[in-house]
Amino acid sequence: MSRRVALVTGGARRLGAALVRSFAEREYDVLLHHGSSPEEAAALAQSLEQQHGGRVHVVQEDLLDPAAPARIVACAVEALGRLDVVVSSASVMEWRDFERVTPQDWTRAEAINLRAPFFLMQAAARVMTTGGVIVQIADHLAGETGFPRLIPHQVTKAALTQLVRAVADHLAPAIRVNAIAPGLVLAPDDLTDEARQRFLRDVPLSRSGTPADVVQAVHFLVDAPYITGIVLPVDGGRQLRR
């Protein structure tokens, strides 16, 4: 039998790269999408193919293009022969004071954080004719808590959680759709130590998250055949104190 195939958007760096690596380690072939990191994507693909023997196919697409999601899915099927798992990891999070948010900020956030995940699911559903799993990477803090410098990100990620519920209902029973809502994982470079410590005071488990925490949760959902339509917080318990 052919190996299962996973598609990961935003897979060249940070959390996306950890997800690509995890699927390769679990003997999947992987379609690694990136938007603007060709060197990192190529190096990761080459390394994983050497280590694990599977195929890691790289595709570059700008998710601001409405047609990009369909092309990404078509590339996965053409290059790797099938599609079993989709993980939407690509995201944009830009810090802006309320007064400085522009229409371009809204357009970019909506296109990458919400529109692209929807049309990726739509395209994937057309080729997952024997079933499959879709996992969206949402954001527990942005979706549930007010951050005045992250308004476009926050609103689009909150909408993504509702999108997951609606699409899960529509695609059942053949395709399961869930989301992971991480807390503080791979904090932004400009997050100060003071802000980090203030955040951690509200985390019952007293630490920030790691990519491994999110990867473990993603694979739990991939392998859980009776779970669909949920948004799983991976936030160290911070939702208990909001």
Joined together, the tokens standing for residue 156 give 């689009």
pLDDT greater than 60 at residue 64? yes
130, exposed or middle or buried, with CB in 10 Å at 0-12, 13-18, 19+?
exposed
> Each residue of 84-122: pLDDT tens digit?
999 999 999 888 889 999 999 999 999 999 999 999 999
Q: How far apart are CA 86 and CA 149, in angstroms?
A: 30
> Each residue of 117-160: pLDDT tens digit?
999 999 999 999 999 999 999 987 665 566 678 899 889 999 99
Q: What percent of the chain has pLDDT over 70?
A: 92
In this prediction, residue 183 carries a pLDDT of 83
In this prediction, residue 141 carries a pLDDT of 65
What's the CATH number where 44 sits?
A: 3.40.50.720
Domain with 197, as residue range(s), is 5-241
> Each residue of 179-193: pLDDT tens digit?
999 987 766 666 667
**Cβ distance 140 to 239 under 8 Å?**
yes
Joined together, the tokens standing for residue 147 give 């951050």
Average pLDDT of the segment spanning 198-202: 75
In this prediction, residue 148 carries a pLDDT of 76
Under DSSP, the state recorded for 185 is B
> Each residue of 24-48: pLDDT tens digit?
999 999 999 999 999 999 999 999 9
Query: For residue 221, which of 120, 134, 113 has the smallest C-alpha distance?
Result: 134
Q: How far apart are CA 233 and CA 237, in angstroms?
A: 8
Name the pTM for this structure: 0.94
pLDDT bracket for residue 208 (50, 70, 90): confident
In this prediction, residue 206 carries a pLDDT of 77
Domain total for the chain?
1
Joined together, the tokens standing for residue 130 give 């024997």
- Among all chains, which residue has been given the structure tokens 């911070």? 238
